[in-house]
């Protein structure tokens, strides 16, 4: 629980004795916050001629932007793909549960479902800012149903569809796209170009995945506007030397100039081998986005649970469709994924952290507010030790969670 209580939002807070992740470096500097924003101290000193109201000694901790998870199916017993009357209650429960794992914002993900599920859930999944109630909702990630049956993974095959009438089928399925931030499609399907263009017009990120596509189809999708690959290596054709398929997008020479193809990767120790993590990182480090793909069993004990329209079970530290060995999502948290990635790739702390902060913010085009510690951005950040254990979580400049490993920080209220 927070050790120093709630500090008034309009107080100037100075975080001292810390290392800031800023401009691709860990720098020894102070972090200044007021009214939920990160401040430029020079303007405080020279323009306002004022100083801190409160000083917090971080005792050498790393301060990094809060983690952003752009693909999470649920957690703590709640499934985003299940139609209930308490959609917002479940959303807020997950948002609260993510705080100890360093997440300050996320994209709740809905897997392949029948039309009535989308129509009931999507209008209720309204975006909200983070705070003591939990991490912020950046918008829904719809994964399906316009994907490949051959690479369905845990998605129920009977609900997977083609576009018989192009964009009309999309709107007939989803009905309301107001709260949608990302959509995953299989690029090899007919009418995909039209569909991608329509999503792009609505400022919705298009991701390719759950697909049998070859590299040419993937390149065409990117040329039309797709910018993301859903959980690289999983639910797609594997790399082949004569056709590298969607994996080849990481080194394709057909990507429009100045465009970055981002790719999600599940670094939970189950879905992706450490050698594959190293390959992806070394080939295209600036596009790597760590995701959890977490399911409702995140934070729960082993046993049987429901995800979307199917039943799954936790066994041997992994989640599978009940009665099979088919993976159906992760039970790893974001801080565990960051730590596993850091250890498996032997990358720098900076690189590991940016894969869960800067890169997802770049994907969503929200770096003016999230994913950095730049001046005037939202004061959503986390404190970590050198092992990248999350020690504390701040949203809107306020302490929203503090762990047992956090040092007892000295807080000084300055009298003016």
Sequence ranges of the domains in the chain: 13-65+373-413, 67-364
Residue 271 known to bind ligand? yes
Residue 231 known to bind ligand? yes
Q: Between the CA of residue 61 and those of 13, 16, 123, 340, 376, what are the distances in Å?
A: 16, 10, 41, 20, 22
User: In degrees rounded to 5, what are phi and psi of residue 192?
Assistant: -65, -35
If phi > 0 it is left, if psi is from -120 to 50 it is alpha, else beta; for residue 326 that is: beta
Q: Between the CA of residue 255 and those of 218, 221, 222, 249, 358, what are the distances in Å?
A: 10, 10, 7, 8, 21
- Which residues are marked as active site? 293
Q: Which fold has domain 67-364?
A: TIM Barrel (3.20.20)
Nearest partner of 341 among 397, 268, 232, judged by Cα = 268
Assigned token pair, 54: 């409160």
Residue 329 known to bind ligand? yes
Q: d(Cα 347, Cα 302) in Å, to the nearest integer? A: 32
Give the percent of the chain with pLDDT over 70.
Answer: 96
Q: Going residue by residue through the chain, which has 416 residues, state the pLDDT in tens, using 9 for 90 and above.
A: 344 557 899 999 999 999 999 999 999 999 999 999 999 999 999 999 998 999 999 999 999 999 999 999 999 988 999 866 689 999 999 999 999 999 999 999 999 999 999 999 999 999 999 999 999 999 999 999 999 999 998 899 999 999 999 999 999 999 999 999 999 999 999 999 999 999 999 999 999 999 999 999 999 999 999 999 999 999 999 999 999 999 999 999 999 999 999 999 999 999 999 999 999 999 999 999 999 999 888 987 788 877 666 788 888 888 888 888 887 778 999 999 999 999 999 999 999 999 999 999 999 999 999 999 999 999 999 999 999 999 999 999 999 999 988 877 677 877 65
Residue 175 known to bind ligand? no
Residue 191 known to bind ligand? no
| 13-65+373-413 has CATH 2.30.40.10 classification | yes
* Mean pLDDT value across the chain: 93
Strands (E), 343-410: 381-384, 390-395, 398-402
The answer to whether residues 221 and 249 touch, using CB atoms and an 8 Å cutoff, is no
* Residue 354 C-alpha from the chain's centroid: 12
The answer to whether residues 99 and 400 touch, using CB atoms and an 8 Å cutoff, is yes
User: In degrees rounded to 5, what are phi and psi of residue 340?
Assistant: -65, -40
The residue count of the chain comes to: 416
């Amino acid at each position: 629980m927070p050790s120093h209580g709630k500090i008034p939002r309009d107080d100037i807070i100075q975080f001292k004795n810390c290392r800031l992740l800023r401009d691709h470096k860990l720098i020894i500097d102070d972090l200044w916050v007021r009214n939920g924003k990160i401040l430029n101290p020079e303007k405080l000193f020279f323009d306002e001629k004022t100083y801190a109201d409160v000083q917090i000694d971080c005792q050498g901790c790393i301060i990094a932007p809060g983690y952003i998870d752009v693909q999470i199916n649920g957690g703590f017993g709640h499934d985003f793909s299940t139609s209930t009357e308490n959609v917002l209650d479940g959303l807020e429960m997950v948002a609260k549960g993510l705080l100890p794992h360093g997440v300050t914002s996320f994209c709740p993900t809905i897997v392949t479902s029948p039309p009535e599920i989308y129509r009931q859930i999507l209008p209720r999944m309204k975006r909200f800012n983070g705070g003591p109630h939990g991490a912020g909702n950046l918008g829904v990630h719809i994964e399906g149903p316009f994907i490949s049956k051959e690479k369905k993974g845990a998605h129920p095959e009977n609900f997977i569809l083609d576009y018989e009438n192009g964009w009309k089928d999309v709107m007939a399925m989803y009905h309301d796209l107001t709260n949608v931030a990302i959509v995953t499609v299989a690029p090899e399907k007919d009418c995909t170009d039209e569909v991608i263009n329509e999503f792009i017009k609505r400022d919705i990120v298009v991701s390719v995945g759950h697909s049998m596509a070859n590299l040419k189809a993937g390149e065409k999708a990117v040329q039309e506007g797709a910018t993301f690959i859903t959980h690289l290596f999983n639910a797609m054709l594997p790399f082949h030397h004569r056709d590298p398929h969607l994996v080849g997008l990481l080194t394709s020479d057909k990507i429009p100039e100045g465009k970055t193809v981002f790719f999600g990767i599940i670094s939970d120790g189950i879905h992706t081998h450490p050698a594959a993590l190293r390959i992806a990182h070394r080939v295209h480090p600036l596009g790597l986005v760590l995701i959890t793909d977490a399911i409702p069993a995140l934070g729960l004990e082993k046993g049987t649970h429901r995800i979307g329209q199917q039943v799954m079970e936790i066994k041997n530290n992994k989640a599978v469709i009940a009665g099979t060995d088919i993976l159906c999502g992760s039970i790893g948290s974001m801080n565990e994924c960051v730590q596993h990635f850091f250890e498996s790739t032997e990358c720098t702390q900076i690189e590991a952290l940016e894969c869960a902060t800067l890169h997802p913010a770049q994907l969503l085009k929200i770096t003016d507010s999230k994913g950095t510690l730049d001046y005037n951005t939202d004061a959503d950040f986390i404190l970590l030790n050198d092992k990248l254990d999350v020690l504390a979580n701040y949203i809107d400049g306020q302490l929203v969670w503090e762990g047992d490993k956090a040092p007892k920080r000295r807080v000084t209220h300055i009298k003016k």
